[in-house]
Structure 1
Amino acid sequence: MGGAVDGTDGSKHTLRESILAVRARLTARDAQETATVLAERALELPELAEAHTVAAYVSIGGEPGTGPLLEALRAQGVRVLLPVLLPDNDLDWAVYEGAEHLVRARRGLLEPTGPRLGPDAVTRADAVLLPGLAVDGQGIRLGRGGGSYDRALARIVAAGARPVLAVLLYDAELVGSVPAEPHDLPVSAAVTPSAIHRFTAPPPHHT
Protein backbone atom coordinates (compact mmCIF):
# COMPACT_ATOMS: atom_id res chain seq x y z
CA MET A 1 0.00 0.00 0.00
CA GLY A 2 1.30 3.54 -0.05
CA GLY A 3 0.19 7.11 -0.13
CA ALA A 4 0.13 9.80 2.49
CA VAL A 5 -0.33 9.27 6.18
CA ASP A 6 -2.98 11.37 7.88
CA GLY A 7 -4.88 11.80 11.13
CA THR A 8 -3.50 9.89 14.11
CA ASP A 9 -1.09 7.93 11.93
CA GLY A 10 0.31 11.14 10.48
CA SER A 11 0.76 12.70 13.90
CA LYS A 12 2.53 9.59 15.15
CA HIS A 13 4.75 9.56 12.07
CA THR A 14 5.81 13.18 12.62
CA LEU A 15 6.61 12.61 16.30
CA ARG A 16 8.44 9.38 15.47
CA GLU A 17 10.63 11.08 12.89
CA SER A 18 11.49 13.92 15.28
CA ILE A 19 12.59 11.59 18.09
CA LEU A 20 14.52 9.29 15.78
CA ALA A 21 16.41 12.31 14.43
CA VAL A 22 17.50 13.25 17.96
CA ARG A 23 18.52 9.67 18.76
CA ALA A 24 20.56 9.49 15.57
CA ARG A 25 22.84 12.24 16.91
CA LEU A 26 23.76 10.29 20.06
CA THR A 27 27.22 8.80 20.27
CA ALA A 28 28.01 5.24 21.31
CA ARG A 29 29.43 6.65 24.54
CA ASP A 30 26.18 8.53 25.22
CA ALA A 31 24.19 5.33 24.79
CA GLN A 32 26.52 3.27 27.00
CA GLU A 33 26.52 5.80 29.83
CA THR A 34 22.73 6.00 29.67
CA ALA A 35 22.44 2.20 29.69
CA THR A 36 24.39 1.91 32.95
CA VAL A 37 22.28 4.56 34.67
CA LEU A 38 19.05 3.08 33.30
CA ALA A 39 19.90 -0.34 34.69
CA GLU A 40 20.33 1.09 38.18
CA ARG A 41 17.18 3.18 37.88
CA ALA A 42 15.03 0.37 36.48
CA LEU A 43 15.89 -1.91 39.39
CA GLU A 44 14.38 0.73 41.71
CA LEU A 45 11.02 -0.34 40.27
CA PRO A 46 9.88 -3.00 42.80
CA GLU A 47 7.73 -4.87 40.29
CA LEU A 48 10.83 -5.35 38.15
CA ALA A 49 13.37 -6.05 40.89
CA GLU A 50 11.09 -8.65 42.48
CA ALA A 51 9.90 -10.33 39.28
CA HIS A 52 10.52 -13.99 38.57
CA THR A 53 10.13 -13.62 34.80
CA VAL A 54 10.72 -10.44 32.78
CA ALA A 55 10.04 -10.05 29.07
CA ALA A 56 12.56 -7.56 27.73
CA TYR A 57 14.45 -6.78 24.50
CA VAL A 58 17.95 -6.08 23.23
CA SER A 59 18.43 -2.41 22.37
CA ILE A 60 19.96 -1.45 19.03
CA GLY A 61 21.21 1.79 17.51
CA GLY A 62 20.24 4.90 19.45
CA GLU A 63 17.71 3.16 21.69
CA PRO A 64 18.23 3.55 25.45
CA GLY A 65 20.59 0.67 26.20
CA THR A 66 19.26 -2.49 27.82
CA GLY A 67 22.47 -4.55 28.00
CA PRO A 68 23.48 -3.76 31.61
CA LEU A 69 19.88 -4.24 32.78
CA LEU A 70 19.59 -7.64 31.10
CA GLU A 71 22.80 -8.75 32.79
CA ALA A 72 21.74 -7.38 36.18
CA LEU A 73 18.39 -9.17 36.03
CA ARG A 74 20.01 -12.43 34.98
CA ALA A 75 22.61 -12.12 37.77
CA GLN A 76 19.74 -11.82 40.26
CA GLY A 77 18.26 -15.09 39.03
CA VAL A 78 15.46 -13.48 37.03
CA ARG A 79 14.28 -15.47 34.00
CA VAL A 80 14.60 -12.98 31.15
CA LEU A 81 12.67 -13.58 27.93
CA LEU A 82 13.74 -11.89 24.70
CA PRO A 83 11.70 -11.55 21.51
CA VAL A 84 12.32 -13.39 18.26
CA LEU A 85 10.77 -11.67 15.24
CA LEU A 86 8.66 -14.07 13.19
CA PRO A 87 8.16 -13.78 9.41
CA ASP A 88 4.71 -12.23 9.94
CA ASN A 89 6.21 -9.70 12.42
CA ASP A 90 4.63 -11.38 15.43
CA LEU A 91 6.93 -12.18 18.36
CA ASP A 92 8.12 -15.54 19.64
CA TRP A 93 10.25 -15.64 22.82
CA ALA A 94 13.36 -17.39 24.14
CA VAL A 95 15.34 -17.20 27.38
CA TYR A 96 18.31 -14.83 27.57
CA GLU A 97 21.46 -16.84 28.33
CA GLY A 98 24.01 -14.05 28.01
CA ALA A 99 25.30 -11.71 25.31
CA GLU A 100 27.39 -14.49 23.77
CA HIS A 101 24.15 -16.32 22.92
CA LEU A 102 22.70 -13.53 20.78
CA VAL A 103 22.74 -13.52 16.99
CA ARG A 104 22.06 -10.79 14.45
CA ALA A 105 18.70 -11.29 12.75
CA ARG A 106 16.21 -9.43 10.56
CA ARG A 107 16.20 -5.61 10.74
CA GLY A 108 19.52 -5.70 12.59
CA LEU A 109 17.90 -7.10 15.72
CA LEU A 110 19.85 -9.23 18.19
CA GLU A 111 17.95 -12.38 19.14
CA PRO A 112 18.56 -15.27 21.56
CA THR A 113 19.67 -18.61 20.14
CA GLY A 114 17.85 -20.84 22.65
CA PRO A 115 14.68 -22.89 22.22
CA ARG A 116 11.58 -20.97 21.15
CA LEU A 117 8.89 -20.84 23.81
CA GLY A 118 5.99 -19.69 21.62
CA PRO A 119 4.23 -16.32 21.30
CA ASP A 120 2.15 -16.98 24.44
CA ALA A 121 5.27 -17.08 26.66
CA VAL A 122 4.96 -13.32 27.17
CA THR A 123 1.65 -13.82 29.00
CA ARG A 124 3.51 -15.55 31.84
CA ALA A 125 5.89 -12.65 32.53
CA ASP A 126 5.60 -10.66 35.75
CA ALA A 127 6.95 -7.55 34.03
CA VAL A 128 7.23 -6.54 30.38
CA LEU A 129 9.80 -3.98 29.21
CA LEU A 130 8.63 -2.38 25.98
CA PRO A 131 10.72 -0.51 23.44
CA GLY A 132 9.36 2.93 22.69
CA LEU A 133 10.14 6.39 21.38
CA ALA A 134 8.03 8.46 23.76
CA VAL A 135 5.33 8.28 26.41
CA ASP A 136 2.83 10.88 27.61
CA GLY A 137 1.29 11.63 30.99
CA GLN A 138 -1.44 9.06 30.45
CA GLY A 139 1.09 6.32 29.81
CA ILE A 140 0.40 6.13 26.07
CA ARG A 141 3.53 4.77 24.38
CA LEU A 142 4.77 5.70 20.93
CA GLY A 143 6.26 2.63 19.28
CA ARG A 144 8.05 2.32 15.97
CA GLY A 145 4.87 1.46 14.10
CA GLY A 146 5.57 -2.17 13.24
CA GLY A 147 2.72 -3.55 15.33
CA SER A 148 4.69 -6.46 16.81
CA TYR A 149 4.24 -5.32 20.40
CA ASP A 150 0.59 -4.39 19.83
CA ARG A 151 0.03 -8.08 19.08
CA ALA A 152 2.00 -9.19 22.12
CA LEU A 153 0.05 -6.79 24.35
CA ALA A 154 -3.27 -7.96 22.90
CA ARG A 155 -2.23 -11.52 23.75
CA ILE A 156 -1.50 -10.46 27.35
CA VAL A 157 -4.92 -8.84 27.68
CA ALA A 158 -6.70 -11.84 26.15
CA ALA A 159 -4.95 -14.13 28.66
CA GLY A 160 -6.13 -12.00 31.59
CA ALA A 161 -2.50 -11.49 32.65
CA ARG A 162 -1.46 -8.49 34.76
CA PRO A 163 2.25 -7.80 34.31
CA VAL A 164 3.66 -4.37 34.98
CA LEU A 165 4.29 -2.68 31.63
CA ALA A 166 7.27 -0.34 31.53
CA VAL A 167 9.10 1.57 28.82
CA LEU A 168 12.76 2.71 28.88
CA LEU A 169 13.33 6.23 27.53
CA TYR A 170 15.62 9.22 27.55
CA ASP A 171 14.46 12.09 29.78
CA ALA A 172 13.41 14.30 26.85
CA GLU A 173 11.09 11.59 25.51
CA LEU A 174 8.42 12.23 28.11
CA VAL A 175 6.03 14.33 26.03
CA GLY A 176 2.79 16.21 26.51
CA SER A 177 0.70 13.96 24.31
CA VAL A 178 1.06 10.88 22.14
CA PRO A 179 -1.70 10.43 19.54
CA ALA A 180 -3.73 7.45 20.80
CA GLU A 181 -5.67 4.80 18.93
CA PRO A 182 -8.32 2.47 20.43
CA HIS A 183 -5.93 -0.49 20.60
CA ASP A 184 -3.15 1.44 22.39
CA LEU A 185 -2.56 -0.01 25.85
CA PRO A 186 -1.14 2.42 28.45
CA VAL A 187 2.05 1.48 30.25
CA SER A 188 2.32 1.51 34.04
CA ALA A 189 5.69 3.22 34.26
CA ALA A 190 8.49 4.84 32.29
CA VAL A 191 12.11 4.59 33.38
CA THR A 192 14.44 7.42 32.37
CA PRO A 193 17.99 8.11 33.58
CA SER A 194 16.71 10.70 36.07
CA ALA A 195 13.60 9.04 37.51
CA ILE A 196 10.85 6.45 37.50
CA HIS A 197 7.60 7.93 36.23
CA ARG A 198 4.34 6.27 37.28
CA PHE A 199 1.06 6.56 35.42
CA THR A 200 -2.46 6.14 36.68
CA ALA A 201 -3.37 3.59 34.04
CA PRO A 202 -3.93 0.17 35.62
CA PRO A 203 -2.19 -2.96 34.38
CA PRO A 204 -3.94 -4.70 31.48
CA HIS A 205 -6.98 -6.75 32.38
CA HIS A 206 -9.37 -9.06 30.64
CA THR A 207 -12.49 -7.36 29.35
Structure 2
Amino acid sequence: MTGIRDKAAWRAEILARRAALTPEVREREAAALAERIAALPWPDATWVCAYVPVGSEPGSIAMLDALRATGARVLLPVTGEPGPLSWAEYLGPERLRRGRFGLREPDGEPIADALGLAEVIIIPALAVDRRGSRLGRGAGYYDRSLGTSRADARLVAVVRDDEVVGNLPEEPHDHRMGWALTPFGGLRELGE
Protein backbone atom coordinates (compact mmCIF):
# COMPACT_ATOMS: atom_id res chain seq x y z
CA MET A 1 0.00 0.00 0.00
CA THR A 2 1.76 3.11 -1.17
CA GLY A 3 0.68 6.54 -2.26
CA ILE A 4 -2.35 8.53 -1.30
CA ARG A 5 -5.72 6.87 -1.89
CA ASP A 6 -9.07 7.70 -0.44
CA LYS A 7 -9.88 6.53 3.06
CA ALA A 8 -12.61 4.11 1.96
CA ALA A 9 -10.15 2.18 -0.22
CA TRP A 10 -7.62 2.00 2.63
CA ARG A 11 -10.30 0.79 5.05
CA ALA A 12 -11.56 -1.90 2.70
CA GLU A 13 -8.07 -3.26 2.04
CA ILE A 14 -6.97 -3.28 5.68
CA LEU A 15 -10.20 -4.82 6.95
CA ALA A 16 -9.95 -7.57 4.31
CA ARG A 17 -6.36 -8.33 5.35
CA ARG A 18 -7.33 -8.39 9.02
CA ALA A 19 -10.24 -10.74 8.31
CA ALA A 20 -7.81 -13.20 6.68
CA LEU A 21 -5.63 -13.52 9.80
CA THR A 22 -5.75 -16.82 11.65
CA PRO A 23 -6.74 -17.01 15.32
CA GLU A 24 -3.18 -18.14 16.11
CA VAL A 25 -1.69 -14.99 14.57
CA ARG A 26 -4.17 -12.81 16.46
CA GLU A 27 -3.31 -14.55 19.74
CA ARG A 28 0.45 -14.07 19.19
CA GLU A 29 -0.10 -10.40 18.37
CA ALA A 30 -2.34 -9.89 21.41
CA ALA A 31 0.24 -11.46 23.75
CA ALA A 32 3.00 -9.34 22.23
CA LEU A 33 0.96 -6.14 22.58
CA ALA A 34 0.26 -6.87 26.25
CA GLU A 35 4.01 -7.21 26.83
CA ARG A 36 4.74 -4.03 24.84
CA ILE A 37 2.13 -2.01 26.72
CA ALA A 38 3.48 -3.13 30.09
CA ALA A 39 6.89 -1.78 29.02
CA LEU A 40 5.83 1.66 27.73
CA PRO A 41 8.53 4.20 28.63
CA TRP A 42 6.17 6.45 30.61
CA PRO A 43 6.08 5.00 34.14
CA ASP A 44 4.87 8.35 35.47
CA ALA A 45 1.51 7.99 33.68
CA THR A 46 -1.16 7.68 36.34
CA TRP A 47 -4.11 8.10 33.97
CA VAL A 48 -4.18 6.17 30.68
CA CYS A 49 -7.05 6.10 28.21
CA ALA A 50 -7.24 2.86 26.23
CA TYR A 51 -9.87 0.70 24.52
CA VAL A 52 -11.20 -2.85 24.48
CA PRO A 53 -10.22 -4.44 21.15
CA VAL A 54 -13.16 -5.83 19.18
CA GLY A 55 -13.42 -7.80 15.98
CA SER A 56 -10.19 -7.69 14.03
CA GLU A 57 -8.54 -4.97 16.14
CA PRO A 58 -5.14 -6.01 17.45
CA GLY A 59 -4.83 -6.71 21.16
CA SER A 60 -6.92 -8.12 23.98
CA ILE A 61 -8.10 -7.46 27.52
CA ALA A 62 -4.59 -8.53 28.59
CA MET A 63 -3.37 -5.08 27.39
CA LEU A 64 -5.67 -3.40 29.89
CA ASP A 65 -4.66 -5.70 32.72
CA ALA A 66 -0.98 -5.04 31.91
CA LEU A 67 -1.61 -1.30 32.12
CA ARG A 68 -3.37 -1.66 35.47
CA ALA A 69 -0.46 -3.76 36.74
CA THR A 70 1.84 -0.75 36.18
CA GLY A 71 -0.28 1.22 38.65
CA ALA A 72 -2.04 3.34 36.03
CA ARG A 73 -5.73 4.07 36.26
CA VAL A 74 -7.14 2.88 32.94
CA LEU A 75 -10.05 4.68 31.34
CA LEU A 76 -12.13 3.19 28.53
CA PRO A 77 -14.54 4.89 26.13
CA VAL A 78 -18.26 4.78 26.67
CA THR A 79 -20.19 5.44 23.48
CA GLY A 80 -23.31 7.51 23.32
CA GLU A 81 -24.68 9.80 20.72
CA PRO A 82 -22.21 10.95 18.07
CA GLY A 83 -19.95 13.47 19.72
CA PRO A 84 -17.04 13.34 22.12
CA LEU A 85 -16.61 10.04 23.92
CA SER A 86 -17.23 9.67 27.63
CA TRP A 87 -14.73 7.62 29.64
CA ALA A 88 -15.11 5.36 32.68
CA GLU A 89 -12.53 3.44 34.70
CA TYR A 90 -11.64 -0.14 33.80
CA LEU A 91 -11.79 -2.24 36.96
CA GLY A 92 -11.38 -5.68 35.39
CA PRO A 93 -13.08 -7.79 32.74
CA GLU A 94 -15.92 -8.78 35.05
CA ARG A 95 -16.94 -5.09 35.21
CA LEU A 96 -17.41 -4.71 31.43
CA ARG A 97 -20.86 -4.57 29.85
CA ARG A 98 -22.09 -4.59 26.28
CA GLY A 99 -22.29 -1.13 24.78
CA ARG A 100 -23.20 0.42 21.49
CA PHE A 101 -21.79 -1.07 18.26
CA GLY A 102 -20.97 -4.33 20.11
CA LEU A 103 -18.27 -2.63 22.18
CA ARG A 104 -17.44 -3.63 25.73
CA GLU A 105 -17.53 -0.73 28.16
CA PRO A 106 -16.94 -0.19 31.89
CA ASP A 107 -20.06 -0.38 34.02
CA GLY A 108 -19.04 2.57 36.23
CA GLU A 109 -19.89 6.23 36.03
CA PRO A 110 -18.11 8.40 33.46
CA ILE A 111 -15.21 10.46 34.78
CA ALA A 112 -15.44 14.17 34.08
CA ASP A 113 -12.63 15.57 31.90
CA ALA A 114 -11.05 12.13 31.50
CA LEU A 115 -9.03 13.15 28.43
CA GLY A 116 -7.82 16.19 30.32
CA LEU A 117 -6.40 13.85 32.98
CA ALA A 118 -4.79 11.25 30.71
CA GLU A 119 -1.05 11.45 30.15
CA VAL A 120 -1.23 8.62 27.59
CA ILE A 121 -4.09 7.90 25.18
CA ILE A 122 -3.95 4.53 23.42
CA ILE A 123 -6.13 4.61 20.32
CA PRO A 124 -7.27 1.88 17.93
CA ALA A 125 -6.45 2.48 14.29
CA LEU A 126 -6.64 0.69 10.98
CA ALA A 127 -3.38 2.30 9.92
CA VAL A 128 -1.09 5.17 10.80
CA ASP A 129 1.48 6.84 8.60
CA ARG A 130 4.97 7.99 9.48
CA ARG A 131 3.73 11.58 9.87
CA GLY A 132 1.22 10.46 12.51
CA SER A 133 -1.91 10.60 10.38
CA ARG A 134 -4.32 7.95 11.72
CA LEU A 135 -6.94 6.05 9.76
CA GLY A 136 -9.89 5.06 11.95
CA ARG A 137 -13.16 3.39 11.11
CA GLY A 138 -14.72 6.62 9.90
CA ALA A 139 -17.27 7.48 12.60
CA GLY A 140 -15.09 10.31 13.94
CA TYR A 141 -15.55 9.57 17.66
CA TYR A 142 -11.85 9.88 18.46
CA ASP A 143 -11.28 12.96 16.32
CA ARG A 144 -14.22 14.71 18.02
CA SER A 145 -12.90 13.68 21.44
CA LEU A 146 -9.17 14.34 21.17
CA GLY A 147 -9.68 18.10 21.09
CA THR A 148 -10.32 17.92 24.85
CA SER A 149 -7.11 16.02 25.63
CA ARG A 150 -4.14 17.52 27.42
CA ALA A 151 -1.75 19.37 25.13
CA ASP A 152 1.09 17.14 26.32
CA ALA A 153 -0.83 13.85 26.14
CA ARG A 154 1.04 11.09 24.35
CA LEU A 155 -1.23 9.84 21.53
CA VAL A 156 -0.42 6.23 20.63
CA ALA A 157 -2.07 4.44 17.68
CA VAL A 158 -2.19 0.64 18.00
CA VAL A 159 -1.85 -1.16 14.67
CA ARG A 160 -0.34 -4.31 13.22
CA ASP A 161 3.27 -4.11 12.08
CA ASP A 162 2.36 -3.80 8.38
CA GLU A 163 -0.21 -1.07 9.11
CA VAL A 164 2.42 1.64 9.66
CA VAL A 165 2.46 3.03 6.13
CA GLY A 166 4.13 5.76 4.12
CA ASN A 167 1.30 8.22 3.53
CA LEU A 168 -2.42 8.27 4.37
CA PRO A 169 -5.04 10.76 3.25
CA GLU A 170 -5.56 13.41 5.91
CA GLU A 171 -8.35 15.88 6.59
CA PRO A 172 -8.22 19.09 8.64
CA HIS A 173 -10.19 17.55 11.56
CA ASP A 174 -7.84 14.55 11.88
CA HIS A 175 -5.62 14.48 14.99
CA ARG A 176 -2.07 13.24 14.46
CA MET A 177 -0.59 10.55 16.63
CA GLY A 178 2.82 10.90 18.25
CA TRP A 179 3.57 7.17 18.37
CA ALA A 180 2.61 3.85 16.83
CA LEU A 181 2.58 0.67 18.89
CA THR A 182 2.81 -2.60 16.99
CA PRO A 183 3.01 -6.18 18.27
CA PHE A 184 6.50 -7.00 17.06
CA GLY A 185 7.98 -3.62 16.12
CA GLY A 186 7.12 -2.10 19.49
CA LEU A 187 6.75 1.62 20.14
CA ARG A 188 7.79 3.92 17.30
CA GLU A 189 7.82 7.72 17.41
CA LEU A 190 6.04 9.38 14.49
CA GLY A 191 6.26 12.81 12.93
CA GLU A 192 7.79 14.61 10.01
TM-score by length of 1: 0.85
> Bigger relative contact order, structure 1 or 2, given CA contacts below 8 A and separation 6+?
2
Q: State the alpha-carbon separation in 1 of the partners of residues 141 and 73 from structure 2.
A: 22
Q: State the alpha-carbon separation in 1 of the partners of residues 73 and 45 from structure 2.
A: 9
Kindly indicate whether residue 10 of structure 2 is the aligned counterpart of residue 20 of structure 1. Answer: no
Kindly indicate whether residue 141 of structure 2 is the aligned counterpart of residue 148 of structure 1. Answer: yes
One-letter code of the match for 1:96? Y
For residue 139 of structure 1, what is the aligned residue in structure 2?
132
Tell me, yes or no, if the aligned pair for 1:124 and 1:161 is still in contact at 8 Å. Answer: no
One-letter code of the match for 2:93? A
Q: State the alpha-carbon separation in 1 of the partners of residues 136 and 10 from structure 2.
A: 10
For structure 2, the 5+ residue unaligned runs are: none
Other structure's SS at 1:94 match: strand
Q: Specify which structure has the higher proportion of helix.
A: 1
Shift of 1:101: 0.6
CA root-mean-square deviation: 1.7
Shift of 1:44: 3.2
One-letter code of the match for 2:191? T
Shift of 1:89: 4.6
- Counterparts of residues 23-172 of structure 1 (less than 5 Å): 23-47=18-42, 49-118=43-112, 120-156=113-149, 161-172=151-162
Structure 1 runs of 4+ aligned residues shifted over 3 Å read none
Shift of 1:41: 1.8
One-letter code of the match for 1:53? W
For residue 185 of structure 1, what is the aligned residue in structure 2?
175
Tell me, yes or no, if the aligned pair for 2:38 and 2:70 is still in contact at 8 Å. Answer: no
Other structure's SS at 1:149 match: helix
Tell me, yes or no, if the aligned pair for 2:179 and 2:189 is still in contact at 8 Å. Answer: yes
Cα-to-partner distance string for 1:60-82 (whole Å, 9 max, x where unaligned)? 01100141110011122210000
TM-score by length of 2: 0.91
Other structure's SS at 2:165 match: coil
Tell me, yes or no, if the aligned pair for 1:188 and 1:200 is still in contact at 8 Å. Answer: yes
Q: State the alpha-carbon separation in 1 of the partners of residues 171 and 65 from structure 2.
A: 34
Q: State the alpha-carbon separation in 2 of the partners of residues 77 and 151 from structure 1.
A: 28
Q: 1:197 to 1:23 in 2, by over 3 A?
A: same
One-letter code of the match for 2:18? R
Q: 1:197 to 1:177 in 2, by over 3 A?
A: same
Cα-to-partner distance string for 1:65-110 (whole Å, 9 max, x where unaligned)? 1411100111222100000001235311100000011111111100
Paired-residue identity, %: 45
Aligned residue pairs, count: 188
Tell me, yes or no, if the aligned pair for 1:51 and 1:126 is still in contact at 8 Å. Answer: yes
